[in-house]
């Protein structure tokens, strides 16, 4: 790497065109200026200047070095300006969450961008493990997961609890939901179905369901597209468990029946970022919108 002090002396000399005046501007001696130029030429391996008395003219190699040095100065100035400019309503925010949460959060982020057009959100839909991995590797800055991660790697805050819902076809509205009824319907399986089912059965305190074995339930259908999981149920086929946010986003809610458990089943939502990572101010704007929406 070329010495930036030598480059600065070189550029100043080229701009002024005179050794003595350059020395005066840089508070150096004239031999000191000459020494910087000589060292720079040795480092480059070429003559950079044609000397005519105390005046100078650039060689072709000197012109290239001069353009390089000034680009370096411009880049440094741009960097310093960027470091001092932390606008709470401008910049890119990289965020990850489950597909169910994305259905409710993304429209709110778009509304936020209508107010602050320069605040851009990048949303990744991913499971807990991938969210934490991408935060750790710096690909995502903040995320929402459903379990509290290890504190030596992450900073986390519980920001909400979301209900989990056992969803059945509408014609089950006035019937008692039993284990045999679920077996007869069969599961509309999705990537998180087993996790949600196990949590629901463990916490609902319904005698008819809490002793159920998830592995015994036959699978009626499988789909990994969140927006389509509830379609067969709305048409009378199968059942599943999903967060409330996924049901709220479904356009045919009137064709569903949500089982009312003895005790509501709530899943904690944790806002997570990398430990000891200071985020730009724009993330506070996004986090405020997150908390308002999930509240």
- Write the CATH number for 59: 1.10.10.10
DSSP states of the chain as a string? ---HHHHHHHHHHHHH-BHHHHHHHTT--HHHHHHHHHHHHHHHTS--EEEETTEEEE-HHHHHHHHHHHHHHHHHHHHHHHHT---TTSEEEEEEE-HHHHHHHHHHHHHHHHHSTTEEEEEEE--HHHHHHHHHTTS-SEEEESSPPPTTTEEEEEEEEEEEEEEEEGGGTTS---HHHHHHH-EEE-TTHHHHHHHHHHHS--HHHHT--GGGSPEEEE---GGGTTHHHHTT--BEEEEHHHHHT-TTGGGEEE---SS--EEEEEEEEETTPPPPTHHHHHHHHHHHHH-
**What pLDDT shows up at residue 57?**
87
Are residues 187 and 154 part of one domain?
no
Listed residues 84, 116, 144: the one ending a domain: 84
Domain count, the chain: 3
Q: Which domain holds residue 229?
A: 162-267
Global pTM reads 0.67
Are residues 145 and 95 part of one domain?
yes
CATH code, domain with 98: 3.40.190.10
**What pLDDT shows up at residue 70?**
87
- Report, as ranges of residue numbers, the positions in the chain whose pLDDT lies below 70: 54, 81, 84
Are residues 111 and 144 part of one domain?
yes
Listed residues 44, 60, 84: the one ending a domain: 84
**What pLDDT shows up at residue 174?**
87
**What pLDDT shows up at residue 86?**
84
**What pLDDT shows up at residue 249?**
87
Are residues 233 and 185 part of one domain?
yes
């Amino acid at each position: 790497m070329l010495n930036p002090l030598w480059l600065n002396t070189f550029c100043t000399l080229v701009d002024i065109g005179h050794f003595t005046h350059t020395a005066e501007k840089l508070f150096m001696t004239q031999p000191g200026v000459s020494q910087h130029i000589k060292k720079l030429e040795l480092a480059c391996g070429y003559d950079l200047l044609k000397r005519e008395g105390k005046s100078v003219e650039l060689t072709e190699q000197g012109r290239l070095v001069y353009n390089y040095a000034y680009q370096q100065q411009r880049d440094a100035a741009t960097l310093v300006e960027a470091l001092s400019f932390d606008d709470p309503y401008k910049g890119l925010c990289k965020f990850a969450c489950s597909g169910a949460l994305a259905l409710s959060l993304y429209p709110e982020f778009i509304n936020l961008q209508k107010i602050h057009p320069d605040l851009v959100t990048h949303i990744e839909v991913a499971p807990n493990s991938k969210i934490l991995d991408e935060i750790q590797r710096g690909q995502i800055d903040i995320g929402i997961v459903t379990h509290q991660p290890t504190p030596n790697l992450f900073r986390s805050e519980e920001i909400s609890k979301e209900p989990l819902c056992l969803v059945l076809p509408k014609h089950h509205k006035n019937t008692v939901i039993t284990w045999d009824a679920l077996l007869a319907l069969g599961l509309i399986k999705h990537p998180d179905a087993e996790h949600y089912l196990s949590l629901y059965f463990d916490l609902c305190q319904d005698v008819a369901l809490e002793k159920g074995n998830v592995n015994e339930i036959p699978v009626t259908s499988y789909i990994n597209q969140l927006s389509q999981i509830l379609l067969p149920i709305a048409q009378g086929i199968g059942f599943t468990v999903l967060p409330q946010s996924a049901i709220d986003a479904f356009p045919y809610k009137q064709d569903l029946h949500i089982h009312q458990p003895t005790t509501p089943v709530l899943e904690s939502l944790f806002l997570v970022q990398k430990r000891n990572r200071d985020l730009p101010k724009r993330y506070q704007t996004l986090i405020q919108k997150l908390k308002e929406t999930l509240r």
